[in-house]
């Protein structure tokens, strides 16, 4: 059981003044939105730089359990709370704004600040739900990275907390703000390819290699509060390939590429199907391969699953060289979108397609800007909590059957979209519920 006192002590970072009043429930920020970043690693630093470059608000606080180190996705990148705060303060100084961004090791101290209107949660997946629930209860609006949840059963709690607190939540599914993906998904929804019959989605292969069976624990680096990094996850010996960036290849913290890339490609599938809430009638895992037992990376390396949706639409999701791609096949042709742009069976189907450059900014920036705009207007953003939940839920349901593949082989199971559970498949249903340690359970 983790020591709560030790966790709190680790978080006793620089105390910050809380002079400015925070937003009341449902209130609109009068001036610039004051933002706190939780998780300043690979994606967190990317989003932070975009907020600063587009001057979307004032970043008044950052938090990371890593003080600052290399060892992220790109080995030489130096990320963590200290480089993040230094970056914000340098940029603010350059723009003539007050340079008072504070760095915290415990996100709860950041949430205590009354002058933080909104938080951007960019931690590993196993932290998304606990942080979102506490942020919503603290009256903060939330930009939560995809996949919205780490386990299926968390999503409904996240919806309840956000709606109960009248909070704004944007899921980090930035393709929803990509004008090209919007064009394709809306065109499919509007019947441009006739009756939709089949959607084929892609998820990338693993892009990192972890240690095989017999791997040895490593000493925890000075900069990292490993216990706080683990948080609700099971106690495990430290290895550098467990944590920064590589957490996505371990089922204790993530769902592998099915939830990593699948949260994008399957989200677009749902969008084109016109299905912002709800899910399939049936899920079937057709193939899954894993590294040898005892490897540190234990998520599936290659997968193929399919689902049947109301109206007879079929979704097939498979590993491939394209990291994110969604192809819609209809009675009158096909349309495809993804990281590389849009293509179609007939150029006429692309009439009116906006160019990526036309937007002037990348989808991440547009997505963050949409969030900030909604913090002000109190309108739902383009990827609200229910949308993030439905996409993550599909990935979690598929992953449950994928994880059982090694012992059970190909499995088809009926899915009850209302109950958010398999019908009569206890082993798969157990995998939808997260295993969490106190005090986070």
Ligand X SMILES: NC(=O)c1ccc[n+]([C@@H]2O[C@H](COP(=O)([O-])OP(=O)(O)OC[C@H]3O[C@@H](n4cnc5c(N)ncnc54)[C@H](O)[C@@H]3O)[C@@H](O)[C@H]2O)c1
The least distance separating ligand X from the CB of residue 171, rounded to whole angstroms, comes to 9
The least distance separating ligand X from the CB of residue 132, rounded to whole angstroms, comes to 12
DSSP for 147-182, written as a single string: SS-SSHHHHHHHHHHHHHTT--EEES-GGGG-HHHH
Position with the least CB separation from ligand X: 41
The least distance separating ligand X from the CB of residue 37, rounded to whole angstroms, comes to 9
How far are the Cα atoms of 17, 328, 373 from residue 304, in angstroms, in the given order?
52, 17, 38
The least distance separating ligand X from the CB of residue 210, rounded to whole angstroms, comes to 14
Count other Cβ atoms within 10 Å, centred on residue 156.
Answer: 14
State which residue, 245 or 334, has the beta carbon closest to ligand X: 245
Side-chain-side CA neighbours of 303 within 13 Å: the count stands at 33
Taking phi first (over 0 means left), then psi (-120 to 50 degrees means alpha), and beta for anything else, what does residue 278 get? left
How far are the Cα atoms of 257, 386, 401 from residue 292, in angstroms, in the given order?
18, 37, 19
Contact 176, 310 (CB under 8 A): no
What residues contact 31, with CB distance under 8 A and at least 6 apart? none
State which residue, 79 or 183, has the beta carbon closest to ligand X: 79
How much of the chain is in helix, strand and coil states, percent to nearest 5? Answer: 35, 20, 45
Q: Which secondary-structure segment (H or E) carries 99?
A: none
State which residue, 372 or 404, has the beta carbon closest to ligand X: 372
State which residue, 111 or 286, has the beta carbon closest to ligand X: 111
The least distance separating ligand X from the CB of residue 188, rounded to whole angstroms, comes to 22
The least distance separating ligand X from the CB of residue 258, rounded to whole angstroms, comes to 12
State which residue, 124 or 165, has the beta carbon closest to ligand X: 124
State which residue, 44 or 280, has the beta carbon closest to ligand X: 44
State which residue, 255 or 279, has the beta carbon closest to ligand X: 255
Pairing of strands 141-144, 421-422: unpaired
The least distance separating ligand X from the CB of residue 70, rounded to whole angstroms, comes to 11
What residues contact 53, with CB distance under 8 A and at least 6 apart? 365
As a whole number of angstroms, the distance between CA 307 and CA 269 comes to 12
State which residue, 131 or 413, has the beta carbon closest to ligand X: 131
DSSP state of 381: -
The least distance separating ligand X from the CB of residue 173, rounded to whole angstroms, comes to 7
State which residue, 321 or 352, has the beta carbon closest to ligand X: 321
Pairing of strands 102-104, 118-121: unpaired
Count other Cβ atoms within 10 Å, centred on residue 2.
Answer: 17
The least distance separating ligand X from the CB of residue 439, rounded to whole angstroms, comes to 13
State which residue, 229 or 271, has the beta carbon closest to ligand X: 229
Strands (E), 235-383: 282-289, 302-308, 314-320, 324-330, 333-338, 343-344
Count other Cβ atoms within 10 Å, centred on residue 294.
Answer: 11
Contact 268, 274 (CB under 8 A): no
What does the radius of gyration of the chain's CA atoms come to, in whole angstroms?
A: 21
The least distance separating ligand X from the CB of residue 434, rounded to whole angstroms, comes to 15
As a whole number of angstroms, the distance between CA 36 and CA 58 comes to 9
State which residue, 245 or 309, has the beta carbon closest to ligand X: 245
The least distance separating ligand X from the CB of residue 281, rounded to whole angstroms, comes to 28
Write out the residues near ligand X by the rule CB under 6 A.
Answer: 38-44, 63-66, 72, 79-80, 107, 122-125, 127, 145-146, 172, 174, 228-229, 231, 244-245, 260
Side-chain-side CA neighbours of 46 within 13 Å: the count stands at 15
């Amino acid at each position: 059981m983790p020591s709560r006192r030790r966790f709190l002590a680790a978080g006793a970072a620089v105390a910050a003044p809380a002079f400015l009043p925070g937003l009341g429930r449902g209130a609109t920020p009068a001036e610039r939105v004051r933002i706190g970043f939780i998780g300043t690693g690979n994606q967190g630093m990317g989003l932070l730089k975009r907020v600063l470059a587009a001057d979307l608000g004032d970043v008044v606080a950052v938090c990371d359990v890593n003080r600052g180190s290399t060892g992220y996705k790109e080995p030489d990148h130096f990320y963590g709370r200290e480089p993040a705060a230094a970056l914000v303060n340098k940029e603010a100084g350059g723009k003539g704004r007050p340079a008072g961004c504070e760095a915290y090791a415990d996100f709860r101290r950041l949430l205590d600040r009354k002058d933080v209107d909104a938080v951007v949660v960019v931690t590993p997946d196993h932290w998304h739900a606990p942080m979102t629930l506490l942020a919503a209860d603290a009256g903060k609006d939330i930009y939560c990275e995809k996949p919205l949840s780490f386990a299926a059963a968390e999503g409904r709690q996240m919806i309840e907390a956000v709606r109960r607190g009248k909070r704004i939540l944007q899921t980090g599914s930035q393709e929803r703000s990509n004008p090209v993906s919007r064009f394709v998904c809306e065109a499919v929804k509007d019947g441009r390819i006739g009756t939709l019959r089949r959607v084929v989605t892609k998820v990338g292969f693993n892009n990192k290699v972890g240690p095989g069976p017999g791997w040895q624990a490593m000493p925890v680096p000075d900069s990292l509060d490993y216990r706080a990094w683990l948080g609700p996850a099971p106690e495990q010996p430290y290895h550098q390939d467990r944590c920064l960036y590589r957490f996505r290849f371990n089922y204790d913290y993530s769902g592998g590429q099915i939830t990593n890339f699948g949260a994008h490609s399957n989200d677009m599938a749902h969008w084109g199907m016109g299905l912002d809430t709800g899910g399939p009638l049936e899920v079937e895992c057709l193939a899954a391969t894993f590294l040898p037992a005892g490897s540190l990376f234990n998520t599936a390396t290659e997968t193929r699953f399919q689902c049947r949706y109301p109206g007879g639409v079929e979704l097939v999701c498979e590993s491939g060289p394209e990291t994110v791609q969604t192809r819609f096949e209809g009675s009158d042709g096909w349309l495809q979108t993804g990281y590389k742009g849009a293509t179609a069976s007939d150029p006429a189907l692309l009439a009116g397609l906006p160019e990526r450059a036309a937007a002037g900014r990348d989808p991440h920036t547009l997505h963050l800007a949409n969030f900030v705009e909604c913090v002000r207007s109190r309108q739902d953003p383009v990827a609200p909590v229910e949308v993030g939940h439905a996409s993550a839920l599909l990935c979690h349901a598929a992953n449950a059957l994928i994880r059982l593949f090694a012992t059970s082989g190909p499995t088809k199971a009926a899915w009850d979209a209302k109950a958010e559970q398999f019908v009569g498949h206890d082993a798969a249903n157990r995998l939808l519920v997260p295993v969490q340690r106190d005090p986070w359970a």
